[in-house]
Amino acid sequence: MKKLTVVLLALLVAGSAFAGPKADGGSGGGGGKTLIGIAMPETHVQRWVKDGASLKAEAIKRGYDAADQYGNADQAQQNQQIQSFLTQGAKALVVGCINDGVGSVIAEANKDKVVVVAYDRIIPNSADYDYFITFNNYKVGVLQATSIVDGLNLNAATTAAPKQITLFAGSPTDGNAFFFFDGAMSVLNPFIDKGVLKVVGPYPKTSADRANFQRIATENWQAPIAKTRMENLLNADARNVTLDAILAPNDTLARAILEACKADAKYRTKLPVISGQDAEFDSAMSIKNGEQYSTIFKDTAKLAEAAILLLDQVLKGQTVNIPGAVLASGDLAKIGDTGKKTVKTYLLDPILVTKANLNVPVDAGFYDDPAQVAQLKQ
Ligand code: BGC
């Protein structure tokens, strides 16, 4: 009898020590912390490495255990990573997905009552989660196009000497790409309609023209695809004109497109005005050197902080309140439409950066390598 009590006691003690993640926000130390799984889509676009690191640091700062994985733009691979977070007992997931193939693991997470936050990119065609945190992606596009309007001085352009632009969009598997493009075209279309801006190559007036959108889209945001498309354009539609501007959806693609332009004698002395996004260091340097014209600074450290705060509040059953983010409503609520339901969507504000205000991301501490900061400040 006595022996049995001892055994039972031993089992109880062992049980509490290895009880797995706690559902209380994990403020307690030891092995009982709540695990947050961080699934980022890819590393070929620089920002995600930083996003993953920031998310992990924020989660740990709030008393959680955290693990980060990168999907290499391959949804099957990311699904395995998410599956493994679930097997490890994760109570929450932060997911920057690759495409709607993620739906099956999100459904599983939902069944296990795991809290999912769609991070930066919507999880499309799913009704199995409730929260999305991102930037105002429509505004990203508006700002990209605004920089082109300024860079070309389009307000002074005439129909006698119209400016020439070609259009690129992001991955058609990424919901953000549509908002970036539609935001940009809301600014450019009036100039095109007036005849002071001419589109070289395919011209979807909005992303709703899926056939033409597909022709300018860049599968999985792969730089070599954009570069090849630019090379082809230069040898075909753009052969007999000089391009004044290029709408590029992010920095990785903008630099690839510029590489193609630089190899063409026509652009040796003057590159087209080209937009970007992400304030990547290489693009910041390119802007400083007068090559890329603009980028969009999205402070991903703030996005990561906000995402973990959101999860923390949900896990603790508190009312969600994210300082610095607005809850999308009205027209912006569309950003949170998965196709199956509209999730609660929190939006942070993007900032346009050109050579004139390159100090903004630097001063915000966005580049944490002192050598990079020094180069940008030189
Ligand atoms: C993000 C961009 C990024 C792109 C490619 C989008 O979903 O919002 O910041 O450049 O994916 O990774």
Q: What's this model's pTM, rounded to 2 decimal places?
A: 0.91
Tokens of 317: 């059953």
Ligand 1 pocket, CB under 6 A:
45, 47, 120-121, 170, 174, 176, 221, 250, 277-278
Closest of 346, 344, 341, 345 to residue 126, by C-alpha = 341
Q: Which atom of ligand 1 is nearest to the CA of 42?
A: 12
Handedness of CA 264, 267, 272, 274 (dihedral sign): positive
Return the axis-axis angle of helices 300-315 and 47-61, rounded to nearest 10°: 40
Query: Which stretches of 236-299 are DSSP H helices?
Result: 251-262, 281-288
What tens digit of pLDDT does each residue of 79-131 get? Answer: 999 999 999 999 999 999 999 999 999 999 999 999 999 999 999 999 999 99
- pLDDT band at residue 257 under the 50/70/90 scheme: very high
Closest of 212, 140, 214, 217 to residue 179, by C-alpha = 140
What tens digit of pLDDT does each residue of 310-335 get? Answer: 999 999 999 999 999 999 999 999 99
Burial environment of residue 239 by CB neighbours within 10 A (0 to 12, 13 to 18, 19 or more): exposed
Per-residue CA distances from 278 to 21, 162, 353 (Å): 35, 30, 10
Architecture of domain 137-297: 3-Layer(aba) Sandwich (3.40)
What tens digit of pLDDT does each residue of 285-316 get? Answer: 999 999 999 999 999 999 999 999 999 999 99
C-alpha of residue 317 to centroid of ligand 1, in Å:
31
Q: Quick one: average pLDDT of 252-277? A: 97
Give kind and range of the element (H or E) at residue 235: helix 223-235
Segments of the chain assigned to CATH 3.40.50.2300: 18-129+299-348, 137-297
C-alpha of residue 15 to centroid of ligand 1, in Å:
44
**CB within 8 A of 288, min separation 6: which ones?**
355, 358, 376
Architecture of domain 18-129+299-348: 3-Layer(aba) Sandwich (3.40)
C-alpha of residue 48 to centroid of ligand 1, in Å:
8
Q: Which atom of ligand 1 is nearest to the CA of 135?
A: 8
